Amino acid sequence: MPAPDWPKKGIMNTTVLIADDAQEVRCALKHLLDATPNMEVVGEARDGLEAVECSLRLGPHVVIMDVVMPVLNGVNATRRIVDQNPSIKVLALSMHSDKRFVTEMFEAGASGYLLKDYISEELISAIQSIVAGQQYLCAELAKGITK
């Protein structure tokens, strides 16, 4: 099932699937997104395999994907999602700032990478950027690259 057409300002919400094995992280993300106009959480997944299945069934615009998860990790889940539906954008979410994790997620097809420590400051702008067709890299990671 293909993802719905991209939202047009004022017409449709950006739909989001949250994939993280930590319930408290899923709840925090859902709370933040529910408080944001034009954002709608359409589902949650506890592991990578569930994220793949939910993304196919729900066709969200964006999947917020934890990098390290049980059953199927975020890298492999991202690869499957993007291979099966390239219009779905994946925003990697991780505690890991190691270049290897960042590189693997982008190579798998992620459109953005955000450190969990910066969710409250950058989540909405990260989603807006990738929905607009841009790549997004957490400001903290970008600082390390430009030094």
The answer to whether 141 and 97 have CB atoms below 8 angstroms apart is yes
pLDDT score recorded for residue 39:
93
Averaged pLDDT for residues 9-37: 88
Query: Residue 142 and residue 43: Cα distance in Å, rounded?
Result: 30
> For residue 67, is it within any domain?
yes
pLDDT score recorded for residue 119:
87
What is the CB-side half-sphere exposure of residue 72 using CA atoms within 13 A?
A: 17
> For residue 61, is it within any domain?
yes
Longest CA span, the chain? 43
Domain count of the chain?
1
DSSP β-bridge partners for residue 19: 45, 65
Structure confidence at residue 144 as a pLDDT band (50, 70, 90) = low
The pLDDT of residue 75 is above 80 = yes
pLDDT score recorded for residue 4:
41
Domain that holds residue 72: 14-146
pLDDT score recorded for residue 7:
44
pLDDT score recorded for residue 43:
95
Amino acid at 75: V
> For residue 3, is it within any domain?
no
> For residue 75, is it within any domain?
yes
> For residue 115, is it within any domain?
yes
The answer to whether 59 and 2 have CB atoms below 8 angstroms apart is yes
pLDDT score recorded for residue 15:
94
Averaged pLDDT for residues 26-51: 94
> For residue 8, is it within any domain?
no
Query: What is the share, in percent, of the chain residues with pLDDT greater than 70?
Result: 89
